[in-house]
Amino acid sequence: AVCRLDPYDGLPESYLIHGGRTPNNEISSSLYVLTTDSRGCNRKLTLCCKERELVGEVPGARYGHTMSIVQSRGKTACVLFGGRSYMPSGERTTESWNSVVDCPPQVFLFDLESGRSSAHTLPELSDGQAFHLAFAREDCVYFLGGHSLPSDSRPPRLFRLRVELLQSSPLLSCETLETGISISSAIITRPGPTHRYIILGGYQSDSQKRMECSTVIVNEKGIHFEPLQSPQWTADITHSRTWFGSSAGDGRVL
């Protein structure tokens, strides 16, 4: 999972990177902070990547999850949800050694300054999901779509998670919305500073890619979806069975 941090308090733009698969097919639980530095007479761009330790109730190794930044009462925190991991070691056999399962549907919230993490269980989030999308605005995060392993389906789910960063302890609440769509593994990009996003690609089912594009607008009234004209897909993209790509920032996609 990758999450962008806007510049603040004189600090440069940065990215949080958590989990994922390693080249050895292991699943990582590490959290990294990636920053850029373009100072100096030659304006050379330097990337700096540092591992960040979390304490408390720490999310385990996973991939296919999301991270989002929320802001409440002058505080900032990161929300981590969903994903997939290997079966617990006590349940793995030789035949199922590389089998994966959906992670329990807990929401992890961690403070970016102290590194303290807490896990939260909400009744609305009763099933695990992976390869979903997440959209954040102020103190709310919306979780859209995703794939469920037990049912091998892509339910048209849409949840709104609200996070209040109170002085004593955070307060989380969740609401199920009725305007979700069936989608997984889609690319999401943000073309500007407003909370407007573009959804590109993804899957509607195991055998059907999603060739449509959508605009997502998140404002004080909620979340809204609008159809968007798709680009002229090349034959390679149209006939390929897989989607592979990512947002390159500023509304661009690779």
Q: Per-residue pLDDT tens for 96-128?
A: 777 899 999 999 999 988 899 999 999 999 999
Q: What is the pLDDT of residue 252?
A: 60
B/e letters for 57-96, b = 16+ CB within 10 Å, e = fewer, are ebbebbbbbbbbbbbbeebebbbbbbbbbbeeeeeeeeee
What pLDDT, in 10s, does the model give residues 1-57?
998 887 766 667 788 999 998 888 899 999 999 987 766 666 677 888 999 999 999
User: Which residues contact residue 188 at a Cβ distance below 8 angstroms, ignoring those fewer than 6 apart?
Assistant: 133, 135, 197, 198, 199, 200, 216, 247
Do residues 82 and 59 touch, judged by C-beta distance below 8 A?
A: no
pTM beyond 0.85, yes or no? yes
CA distance 184 to 205: 8
